[in-house]
């Protein structure tokens, strides 16, 4: 197959979501009826929100296309339309091959079923025929490395095994077009490497891959081209390196320090509605001060908050779980919290923060990713002159040297790493 053959053509694709205001947002018939009776002449007021706005593009066979964009740019909506989970509002997509999609690792896995049963069920859910699964069963088990536990219910699996098995099934889909959403966000580093390798194999075998990730280095390694989405529109389409730098430089990834939720789509029972970030103090004792406003929309379990700090490439480098005086309850609707994160000695650069609220590590109420950014200008090491580089890590731990044998060397202190009195970590 020549590389100039089309795999996907997207023409003027738009997807509008209607956000209903006033009480017309009924979830039971009784609510809908009561509202109708009370205000029979009121038309429900809608606000239209364009998740995708007139998107057009062409993708050739065999290309691996990275899809980049910040939260709410329309990446997930685009993938959902491509995988036929939801319909576009207007426009069309022509697909020149079967589409296999992996929007989540382990969709349809049931904890009570054994590994073997889940492989078959999950494969069938992803659109494989039984004999296709038979044919690649050994390869799947081999990739996931779970032979010994095939007849154990997956609820007894470690989370690593679970994710490996789930990814292995999807990786053996035989569709010509593969759509993958942020699956590398799970699993350990070794597994992520294995997944990247597998996706590289898929790409080299001449199949077309669409790959959404916040991880710019994964995008850079895997993709032959990339598109940047911004507020539902195509902001850039071209070579991967150019797209990544466009994304980084054109300000799409550079978040302001204040963020407010634009629409209430996707929001759960407890939603983060606004965040303001300021840096206080000076290196190496910087404090990231976050003013977080939350809204309880429905009843929810007592919740707590976690803050992920990410580098400018979208890789999470640390997580803070602030100690709470009390859990966030649904009793008052509005909450305003002030969080102080004592930063370790970080190298200069741009960082982003994501805010997560939930009642349990497996029960997410809201997760707003990369919404506020901050920039650290000074080195955490006073007097240091040569520049820092992320290749040597983001944190500069305070260190000191003691001379034990004065005869071995002249007593010197490292000029670039002066002794610090107190560890801040």
- For other proteins, give the closer residue by CB, 249 or 260: 249
CA distance 151 to 202: 29
Phi, psi of 276 (to 5 degrees): -125, 130
Helix (H) or strand (E) holding 46: strand 46-60
**Contact window for other proteins (CB under 8 A) among 102-110, 256-264, 271-279, 286-294:** 102-110
CA distance 209 to 118: 25
Q: Where are the beta strands (DSSP E) in 162-230?
A: 177-181, 208-212, 225-230
- For other proteins, give the closer residue by CB, 132 or 330: 132
CA distance 21 to 378: 47
CA distance 64 to 206: 10
Q: Does 50 bind other proteins (CB under 8 A)?
A: no
Residue of 21, 36, 39, 98 interacting with other proteins (CB under 8 A): 98
Q: Does 325 bind other proteins (CB under 8 A)?
A: no
Of residues 209 through 248, those in contact with other proteins by CB under 8 A are 225, 236-239
Residue of 69, 83, 218, 288 interacting with other proteins (CB under 8 A): 83
Residue of 44, 116, 124, 137 interacting with other proteins (CB under 8 A): 124
**Cα→Cα distances 373→241, 255, 303, 308, 350, Å:** 22, 5, 24, 12, 7
* Least Cβ distance, residue 85 to other proteins (angstroms): 5
* Least Cβ distance, residue 96 to other proteins (angstroms): 5
3-state secondary structure of 54: strand
Residue of 36, 39, 129, 193 interacting with other proteins (CB under 8 A): 129
CA distance 146 to 167: 12
Q: Does 80 bind other proteins (CB under 8 A)?
A: yes
Q: Are 100 and 126 in contact (CB under 8 A)?
A: yes
Q: Are 166 and 121 in contact (CB under 8 A)?
A: no
Of residues 23 through 42, those in contact with other proteins by CB under 8 A are 26-30, 32
Of residues 173 through 212, those in contact with other proteins by CB under 8 A are none
**Contact window for other proteins (CB under 8 A) among 109-117, 273-281, 326-334, 375-383:** 109-117
Residues at the site binding other proteins, with contacts judged by CB under 8 A: 4-6, 9, 17, 26-30, 32, 57-60, 80-99, 101, 103-104, 107-108, 110, 112-113, 117, 120-121, 124-130, 225, 236-239
């Amino acid at each position: 197959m020549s590389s100039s053959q089309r795999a996907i053509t997207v023409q003027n694709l738009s997807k509008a979501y209607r956000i209903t205001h006033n009480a017309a947002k009924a979830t039971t018939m009784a609510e809908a009826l009561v509202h109708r009776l009370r205000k029979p002449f009121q038309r429900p007021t809608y606000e239209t929100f364009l998740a995708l706005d007139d998107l057009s593009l062409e993708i050739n066979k065999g290309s691996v296309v990275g899809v980049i964009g910040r939260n709410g740019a329309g990446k997930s909506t685009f993938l959902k339309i491509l995988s036929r989970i939801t319909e576009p509002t207007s426009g069309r997509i022509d697909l020149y091959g079967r589409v296999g999609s992996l929007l989540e690792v382990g969709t349809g896995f049931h904890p009570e079923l054994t590994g073997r049963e889940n492989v078959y069920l999950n494969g069938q859910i992803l659109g494989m025929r039984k004999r296709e699964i038979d044919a690649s069963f050994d390869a799947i088990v081999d990739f996931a490395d779970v032979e010994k536990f095939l007849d154990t219910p997956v609820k007894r699996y470690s989370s690593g095994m679970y994710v490996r098995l789930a990814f292995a099934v999807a990786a053996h889909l035989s569709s010509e077009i593969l759509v993958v959403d942020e699956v590398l966000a799970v699993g350990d580093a070794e597994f992520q490497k294995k997944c990247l390798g597998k996706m590289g194999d898929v790409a080299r075998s001449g199949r077309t891959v669409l790959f959404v990730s916040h991880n710019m280095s994964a995008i850079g390694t895997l993709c032959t081209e990339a598109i940047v989405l911004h507020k539902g529109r195509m902001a850039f389409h071209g070579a991967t390196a150019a797209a990544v730098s466009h994304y980084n430089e054109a300000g799409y990834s550079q978040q302001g320090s204040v963020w407010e939720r634009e629409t209430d789509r996707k929001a759960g029972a407890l939603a983060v509605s606004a965040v303001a970030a300021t840096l206080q103090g000076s290196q190496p004792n910087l404090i990231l001060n976050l003013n977080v406003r939350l809204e309880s929309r429905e009843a929810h379990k007592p919740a707590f908050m976690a803050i992920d700090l990410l580098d400018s490439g979208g890789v999470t480098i640390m997580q803070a779980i602030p100690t709470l005086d009390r859990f966030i309850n649904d009793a008052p609707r509005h909450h305003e919290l002030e969080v102080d994160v004592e930063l370790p000695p970080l190298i200069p650069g741009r960082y982003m923060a994501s805010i997560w609220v939930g009642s349990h590590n497996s029960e997410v109420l809201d997760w707003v990713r990369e919404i506020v950014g901050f920039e650290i200008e000074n080195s955490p090491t006073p007097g240091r002159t040569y520049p820092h580089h992320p290749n040597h890590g983001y944190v500069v731990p305070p260190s000191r040297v003691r001379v034990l044998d004065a005869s071995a060397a002249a007593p010197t202190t490292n000029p670039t790493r002066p002794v610090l009195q107190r560890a801040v970590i």
